[in-house]
Structure 1
């Protein structure tokens, strides 16, 4: 192939563009290389960076942003139809956990480990793991009380009398779980309390059979009770070492395994700025090509706020921003460029009312 001037010009042009790009990247890196921001907690208005490579990302459903665990690492979707297949993460508890709230951290841990609070509503009593351990060790007061609340002895033998109030529902086991949480740049170990339901096999079977019948009589319940009690002996289908079942729940390793998901989630989040880094806010409404109405929120940020966003976006390659006002996540823009401006625009919000209220709330904070 004959070399000519046009090839030379093309190569020079590509080289020039590459040089400009490299120079721009070098400038960005240099500008923030010596900037080491003091970490901050979430506030009433917060921008949080979510490292999506950790398996969590933000979707927009029902006109608000929601944090979700990505089940299929090969795909990331943001549509409302796909959103229903994702496991939602409670935003309020997520934020409060980043502030060191142990109660919220417990609820977040339960949610991430698929422990529904609805499962606990049927229980009539809550037992701390420490008291259960004392009962298992033979405490003369706690052991009979635990057996009464479970409506079964620790060896798995049902009592002769029927007390539906304790037979149905089981108990709630309240356990401590130590979780590492990044708070203002430091990793702190917080002890959260996680609640789990427990009901014996015998009680489960009784609840199932009673539920299958319409308004069963006392006599029919007594018949079910006698029949199922006969199955709790050695070799029976309802035979259970209740003490062992409780020990399994209290197993320190199993309890610590519950900390894995919240630790993974919280370590993927970085609080970038809060209301102290925002100077002002405004919003505008507009109509898109799809004939739908949208709103943009523009926020002026302080020099410190700008550099915080700049440094984070310069160091990350795969992240989303979560814009949260009063515990409501309004938007989830995916960022593909460096954030180095004095103004941040949260664009194309589908809920204009939320956008207007959020803007007015920020403006009120700045007065």
Structure 2
């Protein structure tokens, strides 16, 4: 369930109403607005193909038909057999089941978790009482691979794109380190799907998790996929299938991919310009974004003392959507764990801001944030 922080509760008390038309939305790393074309497809299919795909009648066969098409399209997108993925409701659920499957099939394996991973990964390991070793990250947020002689199969879990910093991890090195030791790699690719060409991460994992809510698909659909699944069909969880959502996700993948290159080009230009403006205006902002990062994500630190709750409340009331940490943290106070692991000093780690744009982000959105920040300061 959602974990509302103080700001959310205060906004509810003030009867603050979210207006998508007027909002300056710079929190695409958290979630995205559903695309109108995908919503229309979802509605149409929900009205015409609402049967259970296993039912022995016309309603069942029509649902089975769109599920089959969805699996074909998704398999082609990821260059996988259509049996090499299964549907879940969210990225967090996908992480849980991917870990569960790996642990069940390889109960003598040793799990290694990058400190750059989303908090839900460590939570999933703890909930299943699975021991794991944390892997440090360097000053750029990339996973440091230890020089170890292993007697057990290693399973490495990492995020190709960090949810907070936008930094890109050393995907090929992680894969080589694990496979040379006879191990496997699970990629939390929820952020990577939205911003990174599949060629940069897909070949560097045996299992991956993606979620539709990062690419403007209606919420409630995600996937666990990978070539490793093909030979481990017997232990796949029986979670059921929503053929309509799966079909919408299959189209959402191709739609987002068709936009991604132009989106990244635009975001690169926008963020380069706005950072130059901040520098010219002497704003107390320090760019903490790793050198090797995806376009459109800026992690900033305020170099002067600031009450973060007051800042975020001010921004929310002025219809500026931004974030810190991850959407599931339940607070905007305190230090960024990832920044601390990267060696960032306490003041900046305690006063970080995450701005993340998307394909609908305009130049004016960055300017609106800048104007609001000036007024607050």
TM-score bucket of the superposed structures, by smaller chain: under 0.3
Q: Determine which structure has more spread, i.e. the larger CA radius of gyration.
A: 1
- Tell me the TM-score normalised to structure 1 length: 0.25
- Tell me the TM-score normalised to structure 2 length: 0.25
Considering fraction of residues, name the structure with more strand: 1
